[in-house]
Structure 1
């Protein structure tokens, strides 16, 4: 009896040591799927959302959820389908099955579509477009003079594709979604900085110098390829699936500005620039 009692005590001791380790395995690990900002903004790039006198509307990128039918159809395609416009079209479609569909066959041509976009390179250009210059001539002064940014004229900054492609709007949506996901930045193909927009950051102009404060619109350059194909909806008995034909890829690039962000550059000189 004593022998069994000792064995039982040993088992309880082992389990008590194992319990914390087992509990640790149940702890939730950080979700690695959460997208982190890939590009850290340099100190020269500042957010002007609160100061901007023009109320920009953020790019509408709704996360379109495919219906069960759409998911089954896109999964059946040998080429990945990511085009939100095509997914919307499939979501709005309905195909009813019937138990008497034996021998039934139909082919529905849905048109030629950009099917997906694959990114090859994503890079920032913090001085994509100069939008403003503030300056002060302190050559006749004997003290420091402080200047800060004031937008003199309303400036509209537009990005876009670097080449002409079919269904450009759908291609832009796919490229924008890819760039936002990979960078975590507030990107848009069109943004505006209103006249009178100010920033309190101070820049000192030395005596006997001219000071120039340049403001730039930053942007992301996206480069990759878009895949096109003719899309057919095949109905065969009770089966429904997507067939893609004449699939081809085309290289494409895009410039995508950052919304409500400005990059500043300050320089001084002895002579006017």
Structure 2
């Protein structure tokens, strides 16, 4: 009896240790995901100061209608494409009692069905957009400079490879990147000329100061799944069948809207 109690206690202890390790790993993974999207102090939001008003990129998660959800649930492949969901939302089919013997298969064409993210990584210095400079080698006291955008800059992102239905793929990738980073993203953003930020940088005497400004972007990588979508009707039953399913690796650069990353360098000689 004593031996049995010892065995039971050892089993319970083993289960406790295993669950503790698993929980610790989950916490570590969650922390890693948060740290990856953490904005460094050198990156500032310029939405209020930007002289070019960028439109807000509004990509809400489209909610399927009752019929669309019913059809999506029957699919043999996960469907997340907002444009395909919108088309299903706009469809209507009545369950007529006279359709008992009806059989029909309707091709809806080939679609990118879903996107699975494998990596979402920020590049805070994706594109250099401005340099503010002052030569204080002849000065006797500190000189302060701040950021002033000299010319208007258009920062563009895009897919890293050509794929069918690229607009749909871009939309799914941006939705996933927004979810993973909680940052305002857009495949094109503009920094207007004359945009300023008041943060000051000191240039000591006998030095030259360079304030570099960069547009940050998110590098999104993953896999997009394609398939030929068919609407199948058998009597009063309706379903979606996906055939010829293929998957393709894809990447994209997606600029962070209305954010600038700064780097200040003081030097005793021209750079």
**TM > 0.5 between the two?**
yes
C-alpha deviation, 1:37, in angstroms: 8.7
Cα separation, 1, equivalents of 2:184 and 2:201? 27
Counterparts of residues 231-270 of structure 1 (less than 5 Å):
231-270=229-268
Q: 1:255, 1:107 → 2: CA distance?
A: 39
Whose radius of gyration is greater, 1 or 2? 1
Q: List 4+ stretches of structure 1 deviating above 3 A.
A: 35-38
Q: Normalised by the size of structure 2, how large is the TM-score?
A: 0.86
Equivalent position of 1:180 in the other structure = 178
* Alpha-carbon contact 1:37-1:185 (below 8 Å) kept: no
User: Are 2:142 and 1:144 equivalent residues in the alignment?
Assistant: yes
Contact 2:36–2:121 (Cα < 8 Å) also in 1: no
Preserved CA contact (<8 Å) 1:37 1:183: no
What corresponds to 2:25 in structure 1?
Answer: none
Aligned to 1:116: 114
> 1:238 Cα deviation (Å)?
0.6
**2:248 counterpart SS class:** strand
| Separation in structure 1 between the aligned mates of residue 75 and residue 139 of structure 2, nearest angstrom | 72
8 Å CA contact 1:130–1:214 kept in 2: the answer is yes
How many Å apart are 1:188 and its aligned residue?
A: 1.1
| C-alpha distance in structure 2 between counterparts of 1:36 and 1:63, whole Å | 22
Structure 2 unaligned segments of length 5 or more: list them. Answer: 1-32
Q: Give yes or no for contact 1:220–1:258 (8 Å, CA) kept in 2.
A: yes
Structure 1 residues without counterparts, runs of 5 or longer: 1-34
The residue correspondences of 1:56-95 to structure 2 (distance < 5 A) are 56-95=54-93
* C-alpha RMSD of the superposition: 1.5
Q: Which residue of 1 aligns with 2:226?
A: 228
Using structure 1 for the length normalisation, give the TM-score. 0.85
More helix by share: 2
